[in-house]
Amino acid sequence: MLLGRNWALCQFARTSIVAIYKKNAQEGSKRKSKEEYAKEHNIYGGDPEQPHKLHIVRRIRSIYRRPYWEKLAIKNLGLTKRDPVIHKNIESVNAQLTMVKHLIKVQPLKLPQGLPTEEEFAHSYINSKGELIIQKRLFPVEQKQIEAKSDSCTINTNV
């Protein structure tokens, strides 16, 4: 009967450890194919051929007692407060988002009314579904003044 250190050495011989590393290296070198990424899109929603252009990012957890690199990433993304922030869907931004994905919530920005003009930005807001809603301002209708010509109007009182 083997006890203590001898038992551990028997269980994890050098050859078995090398075999485990080789197996992990072979499995880790496999890259995901387009079909596997498409399956993920089916689970989480979205179209893999036409990804959304903008993210709405909200911080949902505190950065208190988190490592300094996570605090720095949150500061670089502009998420020091819990207000929503809009970011582009590009690799450099996505790399920072994956570093702090356990602290944030990411939604695609939907534009049901299209992109707003510069004047409409002041009257737009983001609802809870991730849609940019434009509140159109109503302007008062200008009433056209009707000019009555006294010469053309004759009233016939001889009946």
Q: What is the pLDDT of residue 78?
A: 96
| CATH number of the domain bearing residue 105 | 3.30.1390.20
User: Is 141 or 96 the better-scoring residue by pLDDT?
Assistant: 96
pTM listed for this prediction: 0.59
Q: Give a yes or no: residue 28 inside a domain.
A: no
Kindly give the residue spans of alpha helices, DSSP state H, lying in 12-125. 14-28, 34-44, 68-77, 91-99, 118-121
Q: What gap in Å lies between CA 64 and CA 149, rounded to an integer?
A: 79
Q: What is the pLDDT of residue 50?
A: 81
Q: What is the pLDDT of residue 62?
A: 96
Q: Give a yes or no: residue 57 inside a domain.
A: yes
In the chain, the number of structural domains is 1
Q: What is the pLDDT of residue 68?
A: 95
Residue 77 CB: number of other CB atoms within 10 A? 18
User: Is 108 or 157 the better-scoring residue by pLDDT?
Assistant: 108
Q: Give a yes or no: residue 118 inside a domain.
A: yes
Nearest to 79 by CA among 55, 100, 58: 58
Q: What is the pLDDT of residues 78-132, one digit of tens each?
A: 999 999 999 999 989 999 999 999 999 999 999 999 888 898 888 899 998 999 9
Q: What is the pLDDT of residues 27-61, one digit of tens each?
A: 655 666 767 767 766 666 667 778 889 999 999 99
Q: Give a yes or no: residue 71 inside a domain.
A: yes
Q: What is the pLDDT of residue 86?
A: 94
Nearest to 97 by CA among 37, 39, 56: 56
Query: b or e along 50-74 (b: 16 or more beta carbons within 10 Å of the residue's beta carbon)?
Result: eeeebbbbebeeebeeeeeeeeebb
Owning domain of residue 120: 53-134
Side-chain half-sphere CA neighbours of 86 within 13 A: 12
Confidence of residue 156 (pLDDT cuts 50, 70, 90): low
